[in-house]
Amino acid sequence: MESACRPDDRTLYVAETWSGRAWSYEITGPGKFCKFVGPMPWERGRLLIGMSGYALLDSLAIDRAGNICVANIPYQGITVVSPEGS
């Protein structure tokens, strides 16, 4: 699992390697995040992207435009996701 924060320190992004999913969490204070509840009661973050097919996400970073860049190991490339999930 990889993670990174936006430069404003208000959002934490997390990439789950084995599931091929990336999440965002709103930071509300030191060591705390917003109690977002998604469509499933156990979801505490907002799903940004769920890769279809076989994907292993790794090495998450944020570019100057605020996009989330995640290495996709099987495809030997970088998947770029906007903060809105597109």
pLDDT digits (tens, 9 = 90+) for 18-41: 888 888 888 888 877 776 656 666
Per-residue DSSP letter, 75 = G
Q: What's the mean pLDDT in 46-72? A: 85
Residues 6+ apart with CB under 8 A from 49: 21, 22, 79, 81, 85
Integer Cα distance of 30 and 52 in angstroms? 34
Phi, psi angles (nearest 5°) of residue 79? -95, 130
CA distance 49 to 61: 15
More confident residue, 5 or 20: 20
pLDDT higher than threshold 70 for residue 63? yes
pLDDT of res. 11: 84
